[in-house]
Amino acid sequence: MKILLFGHNYQGSRLEQVRGVLQALSQAHELLVGDSEFYAFLSEALPDVSRRIVPVSCSNGCVADMALSIGGDGTFLRAAEKIGDRGIPVLGVNIGRLGFLADVPAEDTSVVLSEIMAGNYKIEERTLLHVKCDDLPDDFWPYALNEVAVLKQDTSSMISIHTTVGDSYLNTYQADGLIVATPTGSTAYSMSVGGPILMPQSASWVISPVAPHSLTIRPLVVNDDVEITLRVDSRSHSYLLSLDGRSVMLDTATQVMLSKAPFTVKVVKRLGHSFSATLRAKLMWGVDKRE
C-alpha cells in the first residue's frame, strides 16, 4: 500500500508518538511525504525510521492509496487542502488534543492499519464549502472542510454582515463575525459559539453568529444546496475572511458567495466506530463528574 504522510514539526514531548506511528507502518507500505517541512523534520529528528520515506510534491500531482494525517484536526485540514480533489482517502491519527477528524489514537495505528489491509473499514464522504469572491490570492485554496468565517479586523467595533440564502434576504448580523459551517465543522468553531452539532452526512450548513449584538439572534441550519451571499460593512472598510483558519483580508466592497464544492473529502473510518460514540468519548457525554 502506498501511503502519503502529513504532519507538522512536533514538540519534543510527542516525538516518540510519531516514531511509534512510523514504526507501525512497517516494511509493507511505501511511504511518501507530501509536505517538505514535515519531511525535513522527520529526516533530522527521526533519521532511523525515516530513511524509507520519499518526499513528493502535491502541487505537481501525487498518487497514493491512502493519506495518513499525524497530528490533530488542524493537521487533517491541511492534509485535505494538499490532497484537494484527488479523491485520496484520509485516515487521521491523533497525537493532538480533542480530535474529531483525527480520531485514531496513535497507539492503535498498527491495529487500524491491519484492519484496513484486511478491508475492514469504511469511507465517509464529507462535503466542503466553495468560496467565490474577487481579490482572493491566486494560491489561496477556495474550499473549506470545516467552516468559512467573516470576522472583524483590527477594530473593537462590530461589523454588519448582510446575509442572503438562495434568493431570500435572511438578516443583517451585527456581530464580531459570522460562521458558515459544514456538518464536519459543526463540532469546531461553530460549536464554540453555541452552534448545533450536525451528523456528518447531513445535507446542511450551519450559520452561527460570533458575539451578536442582539440576544434574540440564534444559529440557523439551512440546506446545503443553496448559495449563501455575504456582504460586509465595517468602520475600518475591511474584514477578515477565514477558511479553516487560513485567512485573507478583504475590502468591504468585496462580497463573498458560498456554495457546495463539486468534490468531497474521503475520510477513512473504522468499522463499528460511530459518530455518536465519538461524541460521547470526545465531549464526555454521560460522564458524571460528581464525587
Catalytic residue ranges: 73
User: Which candidate, 275, 92, 71, 89, places its Cα nearest to that of 187?
Assistant: 275
Q: For the CA atoms of 93, 96, 98, 99, what is the dihedral angle to 10 degrees? A: -30
User: Which candidate, 164, 166, 203, places its Cα nearest to that of 183?
Assistant: 203
265-270 and 54-55 beta bridge pairing: unpaired
SS3 of 211, please?
coil
Q: Are 189 and 146 in contact (CB under 8 A)?
A: yes
User: Which candidate, 248, 252, 247, places its Cα nearest to that of 230?
Assistant: 252
Q: Which single residue is written with the C-alpha cell 485516515?
A: 91
Q: Are 174 and 240 in contact (CB under 8 A)?
A: no
Cell numbers given for 223: 440546506
Checking phi first, is residue 166 left (phi over 0); if not, alpha (psi -120 to 50) or beta?
Answer: left
Q: Rounded distance, CA 59 to CA 121, Å? A: 29
